[in-house]
Structure 1
Amino acid sequence: MGRETILFKSEERKNRSEIAGILRLIADKVEEGKVSLSNNAQSVEVSLPENMVLEIKVEEEVKHKKKYSLEIELEWTEGGEEPGGVVIN
């Protein structure tokens, strides 16, 4: 079994407008093929291949209250290219 190392993690409360702006900036960087992320404690820069796997997931968790999450994940293999295709309506 392989090992997983977290290279960067950030979690902050933002309003919808701020989140949309960050997602637009990330989208531009994905299109350019290089994403740099940093905060006070850490930074990482990744080069992205032309094709990747895009995973979009919405989850509902019920404990005391319902909690929802929307996760957007890009996956790729070093030196490999993944076929792509997603439809957003």
Structure 2
Amino acid sequence: MKETLDHHIEIYDEHECIAKHPILTGKATAHIKMEHYEGLHTKEKGQRIKDVQGLATNDLYSPAPSPKVEQRPLAAYAALEEGETV
């Protein structure tokens, strides 16, 4: 990230500038570039739309349930750190 002479912040991925935003002054607290969001709500065949937390959902208008994940006690992870099998 670097500040430019024309009062912008440039954000880099390695050597490529991937975003440029003006440095905000006064009461302004946010600057949104809508082109950063282009394509996020499109849906290709078989692709599910994601909710605001990035979780896949079948219905865009209802909150998605949390995905089912295996639950383990923390002791299982501690055992793995010690080289034991779980």
- Fold shared, TM-score > 0.5 on shorter chain: no
Whose relative contact order is higher, 1 or 2, with alpha carbons under 8 Å and at least 6 apart?
A: 1
Q: What range is the shorter-chain TM-score in?
A: under 0.3
TM-score, scaled to structure 1? 0.24
More strand by share: 1
The structure with more radius of gyration:
2
TM-score, scaled to structure 2? 0.24
